[in-house]
Chains A and B, each alone.
Chain A
Amino acid sequence: MKFIIIPKDIKDLDLYKNKGADTFIFGLEDYCINYPSLSLEKIKELSQDTNIFVAMNKNIFNSELEDVKDKLVELSKLPILGVLYYDLGILNIVKNYDISIDLVWHQTHMVTNYNTCNYYYDKGVKYGYLANEITLEEILDINQRTSMNLMVQVFGYPIMSHSRRSLLSNYFKSIDKNKENRIYHLKEKEEQYLLKENKDGASILFGKLINGTRPLFDMIQNNISYGVLDVQEVDFKIGEKVYDQFSYILNHISDITSEEKEQIILDMNQLIGDSTNFFYKKTVYKVKKGDSNEKK
């Protein structure tokens, strides 16, 4: 396994590089959602000495297609590791115009089974970034049944939803107040959520950090290709500790005793909370009692 860092911005890059991190994801300006965004020029510059994947994970509209094609052609000339796409139009453009670039299937909440991984792999898509809403068991099963190189988020706030609507601006207009340029916190019962908005719409993130420490052990042992650490919304002091600890696990996996493992997990729970997201929790979708067709 390798770790990929999604930094807050380019200023954080050297901090993580100094810790030993060598692979990063940045978003391409105007075409990314929930990634630190860089211009094509900056990506050109950065790619010369840094391993980067480039996220183009927004829904693409007709008026943007020509520019998207041009950007993909430009990106294909760079030594980047690949482009993360959400919109299948990007896959079609790459195929149609024979653009030589590695792709990462990144349909956020839809990368959930091995069959679809294989479907895209057969179309030449080399990587898949798995949904945050599946279990560890499912992740390992997918990994066994596909040749795709898989990415799994093991740290950071998971994105829950994205809208084309300017939800914050609309809200503040409705109460005749000015919106500040910051992340807002929503609260419902005891849970907190992060709401941010840019010109492409609004996104909501879950308010608890994914703590992938325990599943990380299984993922490393089962050869998951990439663990993704999204440190965009955390202080460097936290981010570096998480990176250090995860690197320690990766480098000493065969030497770590079960006691030490539990101690590491305990320490990490204290540092970043104990939310394991859906790694050990299955979602349900039929709620009627006594429904004979209910999935077991």
Chain B
Amino acid sequence: MKKNKRIELLSPAGDLGRLKIALLYGADAVYIGGREYSLRANATNFSIEEIKEACSFAHALGKRVYQTVNIVFHNEDIDGIYDYLEKAVDAGIDAFIVSDPFIISYIRKNFPNVEVHVSTQNSTTNVETVKFFQKEGVSRVVPARELSKEEIKELVGTGCDIEVFIHGAMCTFFSGRCTLSNYLTNRDSNRGGCSQVCRFAFDIDSDDNHKFTMATKDLNMAEHIKDMIEIGVASLKVEGRMRSHYYLATVMSSYRKIIDACYDGTLTDELLERQKRILSRVANRENSTHYFTHMADENDQYYTGRQELSNQDFLAYVLDYDKENHIVTISERNYFEPGTEVEIFMPSGKEISFVVDKIYNENMEVVEKACHPEEILKLKVDEMIEPSSMMRIRVE
């Protein structure tokens, strides 16, 4: 058992830019999809050249890259897979995340130095299934998202690394057990085409006028990271390969702080509450702990259609900092004006907050407000700002 190993924070990355942000903001590892065989077929995803660059970048930071090859294969998908795996291994991939078991034995036999992780697509719910995969040479299992803390703890007891989802969107149905997308939109959910039919609204043959919906609230496990560490979970996984740079930076940064505080013994209610507020603000849906703490019930779903809020907290991306003149150059994302209370959060975890005074354009001419996305603007900030930092509305 690897109980003493520090828990891993695992981020999604839909492309190279996102991968770099996730790693800079605190992820220990990232999972990516190639252009083939991945369950997010419509994310940008990575070419083999990009995988090579991703691995070089991650490895230079002492971090790891896992590649999803987790489609449920049809006959036509089989022929190309072997060459593809070899290219990914040559590019430096540390592990493959798979769901179709025939690939497991192939990888173990041909690439013994590459780990195999079993995808949540397999909806592993018990220790016998974990043992089955262990015998096949799997080093890590991502179990079904339908498990309680006690059930996860029992899986950890097998000695297999257990990776648990902690944040992001949830499936209404068992992963792998849903083909709504196939039937309603002709898009194959088990080959990366999921069109999120579980978020549609349906008529139902009951005597009322309510629409039937079954969409779930998002997952947010910030409050239970300490529990995860205590029960010996190996990796904490965040959902969302198609999420934005800002979302990834925020989520990674918050969980990094919580994890580090757990290990340092500095986790306070204040710290936790602040990170929970930050995480809630970056999401566009309500959240819940779902099965980890209770059998998911009526409070974990939506019933009156989608209740998603747009979020305009992300104000600007930091491009540069002029140390001599204390000027930060930013690329604007959302409206702000002099007097707006903002904070800049940095890859190192450092945060500074201030009230915006004057806003300058590229020629250092004062402008009234920042209202053109991607416009290059400048602000005077006394404190040193790290590259790749981000500016948001101040979270009280």
- B334-382 at interface with A (beta carbon < 8 Å): none
Contact B183 A89 (CB under 8 A): no
Quick one: given A171-B212, A175-B303, are A89 and B128 in contact (CB under 8 Å)? yes
Cβ of B68 under 8 Å from chain A: no
Chain B CB within 10 Å, residue with most, of A59, A184, A293: A59
Q: Is the CB of B192 within 8 A of A285?
A: yes
Cβ of B247 under 8 Å from chain A: no
Per-position 1/0 for A166-178, Cβ under 8 A of B? 1101111111010
Residue of B nearest to A111 (CB): B72
Residues of A within 8 A of B124 (CB): 88
Contact B303 A89, beta carbon cutoff 8 Å: no
* A191 interfacial by beta-carbon distance below 8 Å: yes
Whether A107 sits at the interface, judged by CB under 8 Å, is yes
B127 within 8 A of A: yes
Q: Which residues of B contact A113 (CB under 8 A)?
A: 73-75, 77-78, 100, 102
A-binding segment of B3-11, B172-180, B314-322: B172-180
A187 to chain B, nearest CB (A): 4
> Which listed residue (A60, A108, A172, A177) contacts B126, Cβ 8 A?
A60
- Please tell me if the beta carbons of A119 and B101 are within 8 angstroms of each other in the complex: yes
The verdict on B309 contacting chain A, using a C-beta distance below 8 Å, is: no
Number of A-B contacts (CB under 8 A): 212
Once the chains are docked, how many angstroms separate the CA of A283 from the CA of B184? Answer: 11
**Interchain CB contact under 8 A, B132 and A92:** yes
The segment from B51-59, B198-206, B225-233, B256-264 that touches chain A is B198-206
Q: What is the bound-complex CA distance between A91 and B128, given in angstroms?
A: 9
Tell me which of B105, B146, B204 contacts A119 (CB under 8 A): B105
For B133, the chain A residues whose CB sits under 8 A away are 88
Q: Is the interface on chain B under 10, 10 to 19, 20 to 34, or 35 or more residues?
A: 35 or more
A188, B182: Cβ atoms under 8 Å? no
CA distance A186 to B192 in the complex (A): 25
Across the two chains, which residue of chain B brings its CB closest to A142?
B75
Chain A residue at minimal CB-CB distance from B213 = A171
- Residues of B close to A60: CB separation below 8 A: 125-126, 128-129
Q: Which residues of A have CB within 8 Å of B200?
A: 188
Residues of B within 8 A of A110 (CB): 72, 99-100, 176, 190
Q: Fill in one digit per residue for B213-233: 1 if any A CB lies within 8 Å of its CB, else 0.
A: 110100000000000000000
Which residues from A are CB-within-8-Å of B132? Answer: 88-89, 91-92
Which residues in window 182-198 of B have CB below 8 A to A? 182-184, 186-188, 190-193, 198
Minimum CB–CB distance from B15 to chain A (whole Å) comes to 14
Q: Are A174 and B176 in contact (CB under 8 A)?
A: no
A134 — which chain B residues lie within 8 A by C-beta?
Answer: 74
Give the docked Cα–Cα distance between A100 and B210 (Å): 51
**Is the Cβ of B301 less than 8 Å from the Cβ of A116?**
no
- Give A176's nearest chain B residue, CB to CB: B208
Report B-chain residues with C-beta under 8 Å of the C-beta of A145.
75
* Chain A, range 265-283, C-beta contacts under 8 Å to B: 278, 281, 283
User: What separation, in Å, do the CA atoms of A112 and B76 have in the docked complex?
Assistant: 10
Q: Is the CB of B202 within 8 A of A286?
A: no
**Set of chain B residues within 8 Å of A171, measured between Cβ atoms:** 204, 212-214, 298, 303
Q: Does B67 contact A (CB under 8 A)?
A: no
State in angstroms the CA–CA spacing of A177 and B208 once bound together.
9
Q: Across the interface, do A186 and B76 meet the contact criterion of CB distance under 8 Å?
A: no
Chain B, Cβ-Cβ closest to A186: B202
In the complex the two chains form, is A162's CB within 8 Å of B74's CB? no
Interface pair A133/B127, CB less than 8 Å apart: no
How many angstroms between the C-alpha atoms of A115 and B101 in the bound complex?
A: 9
B127 with A62: CB separation less than 8 A: yes
Distance from A295 Cβ to chain B, minimum over Cβ atoms (Å): 7
Q: Which of B34-42, B89-97, B275-283 contacts A (4 or more CB under 8 A)?
A: B34-42
- Is B269 part of the binding interface, using a Cβ–Cβ cutoff of 8 Å? no
B383 at the interface (CB under 8 A from A): no
In the assembled complex, how far is the CB of residue A283 from the closest CB belonging to chain B, in whole angstroms?
4
Q: Is A204 in contact with chain B by the CB < 8 A criterion?
A: yes
User: A-facing mask of B125-161, CB < 8 A → 1, else 0?
Assistant: 1111101110100000000101000010010000000
B120 in contact (CB, < 8 A)? no
Task: Report yes or no: B205 in contact with A185, Cβ–Cβ below 8 A.
Answer: yes
Given A160-B183, A162-B173, check contact A293 B35 (CB 8 Å).
yes
B396 contacts partner chain A, Cβ-Cβ < 8 Å? no
A217 within 8 A of B: no
Decide yes or no whether B123 CB sits under 8 A from chain A. Answer: yes
CB closest residue in chain A, given B181: A283
Closest A residue to B118 by CB, please name it: A88
For A188, the chain B residues whose CB sits under 8 A away are 184, 200-203
Q: Is A92 a contact of B75 with CB atoms below 8 Å? A: no
Known contacts being A164-B296, A285-B41, is A59 close to B146, with CB within 8 Å? yes
B184 and A191 contacting across the interface, CB-CB below 8 Å: yes
Inter-chain contacts of A193 with B (CB < 8 A) = 202
Query: Bound complex: CA of A65 vs CA of B303, how far in Å?
Result: 34
B179 and A161 form a contact (CB under 8 A) = yes
Counting CB contacts under 8 A, is B297 at the interface? yes
Shortest CB–CB separation between residue B228 and chain A, in angstroms?
Answer: 18
Nearest B-chain residue to A139, judged by Cβ: B75
* A232: Cβ under 8 A from any B Cβ: no
Partner of A87, one of B126, B135, B188: B126
Give the residue name and chain of the B residue nearest to A60 (CB). B126
Residues of A85-106 contacting chain B, CB below 8 A: 87-93, 96
Given contacts A162-B173, A283-B182, A285-B41, contact A65 B126 (CB under 8 A): yes
- Top 7 A-B pairs, shortest CB-CB distance: A285-B193, A89-B128, A283-B188, A170-B298, A92-B132, A161-B178, A186-B202
Residues of A within 8 A of B (CB): 59-62, 64-65, 87-93, 96, 107-110, 112-116, 118-119, 132-134, 138, 141-142, 145, 158, 160-167, 169-175, 177, 180, 184-188, 191, 193, 195, 204, 206, 278, 281, 283-288, 293, 295
A60-B128, A161-B177, A171-B214 known; 12 new pairs, CB 8 Å cut-off, are A88-B122, A92-B131, A112-B74, A161-B178, A164-B146, A169-B298, A173-B298, A186-B204, A188-B200, A193-B202, A287-B42, A293-B35
Q: Give 15 CB contacts A-B under 8 Å.
A: A62-B151, A89-B129, A110-B100, A119-B105, A132-B179, A162-B173, A169-B298, A171-B213, A180-B206, A184-B205, A184-B212, A188-B201, A204-B180, A206-B183, A285-B191
